Amino acid sequence: MRSFLLDSLVAPCFEIRSTAGMADFGISAGQFVAVVWDKSSPTDALKDLVVKLQAVTGREGRVSVENISQLLQSAHKESSFDIVLSGVIPGSAVLHSVEILAEMARILRPGGRLFLREPVETAVVDNGKVKTAAKLCSALTLSGLVEVKELQQESLSPAEIQSVQEHLGYHSDSLLSVQVTGKKPNFEVGSSSQLKLSIAKRSSPSVKPAVDPAAAKLWTLSANDMEDDSLDLIDSDELLDPEDLKKPDPASLRAPSCGEGKKKKACKNCTCGLAEELEKEKSSEQMSSQPKSACGNCYLGDAFRCASCPYLGMPAFKPGEQVLLSSGNLSDA
């Protein structure tokens, strides 16, 4: 008898709250609705809400139920639902992270709405777990929703207070339950649209504007002025001197040597050509330092070389090929 009276008191309360909630949600036939729940949501209340939503959406609509801990791993495509309900089940205490809010915004269709309930703090407490109502609205805005607004605030029921303490491990006397909504913009993220610009063509005036005779004519030159015999024009070629017409000497165009007056030394990343000249001079000095053959048969090998040939013991080489001799060979020779 006591159980029957308790059920008869609780059921009408849930009936009134659920019916009013669905009317506020704006759910109609043919819509796709997602219900997000967590471990604090009573199972019977969840089933009852799903049955009522299915009756409203009809056969053409669809009601999907998703656990909030599995929402990020779900295979829902973007723009899948018209309405997303989260934490609206009586007796539940659901906290929404930034990632969860972004995922809810992703699966909403353009123009779709998100309705959620969440326990919030009214006092300034640095806990990092329970947000204030202002921070909750800011989190919805940062997730990409627009027209974010707070619908209502109410005290937590005893069942919700117990749920917060058991499932969230949070104890506070300054908690309220707040219901917030947000709308997804009427476009998808990354979408593009062609802009239609209507630029009217300006009609060219048939009559030229009159010139003020009092205006200064310092910088004006017309065809009539060109035909004036009194106009003295200067030929640009007459401004050149005979020295300007002479072809310059290539030696004068060459950059001065690096370190002029001292021993020639090319700069790093030399661009004046001194580095190439020094390399050629070094090669020529090495060639001149090599002994010259008196008989002309040194390159043929030891069988054709003289007894005093500095190339004795060295293999044959091609005529004109540079062969470097050590200082020891030169001294022996």
pLDDT of residue 6: 32
> Residue 214, exposed/middle/buried by CB under 10 A (0-12, 13-18, 19+)?
exposed
pLDDT digits (tens, 9 = 90+) for 154-189: 888 888 888 888 888 888 888 888 999 999 998 877
Tokens read off for 134: 């202002």
Nearest to 118 by CA among 145, 148, 85, 142: 85
Query: How many angstroms separate the first and last alpha carbons of the chain?
Result: 132
Q: Which residues share a beta bridge with 232?
A: none
- Residue 91: other Cβ atoms inside 10 A: 17
- Is 319's pLDDT higher than 50? yes
CB of 57 closer than 8 Å to CB of 29:
yes
Which amino acid, residue 151? L
CB of 112 closer than 8 Å to CB of 83:
yes
Listed in order, strand segments (DSSP E) in 50-190 are 62-67, 81-86, 108-121, 146-154, 175-183
CB of 85 closer than 8 Å to CB of 34:
yes
- Residue 92: other Cβ atoms inside 10 A: 25
Pairwise CA distance, residues 79 & 188, whole Å = 8
pLDDT of residue 236: 83
Q: What is the pTM of this model?
A: 0.51
Tokens read off for 88: 């609206």
Q: Which residues share a beta bridge with 65?
A: 35
Tokens read off for 311: 């190339």
Please provide the average confidence, as pLDDT, over all residues in the chain.
Answer: 77
pLDDT of residue 147: 92
Nearest to 33 by CA among 96, 140, 107, 118: 107
> Residue 277, exposed/middle/buried by CB under 10 A (0-12, 13-18, 19+)?
middle
CB of 248 closer than 8 Å to CB of 254:
no
pLDDT of residue 206: 62
Pairwise CA distance, residues 242 & 186, whole Å = 77
pLDDT digits (tens, 9 = 90+) for 244-271: 888 888 777 766 655 555 666 778 788 8
pLDDT of residue 199: 67
What proportion of the chain, given as a percentage, has pLDDT over 90?
17
Distances (CA, A) of 68 to 73, 134, 312: 10, 22, 93
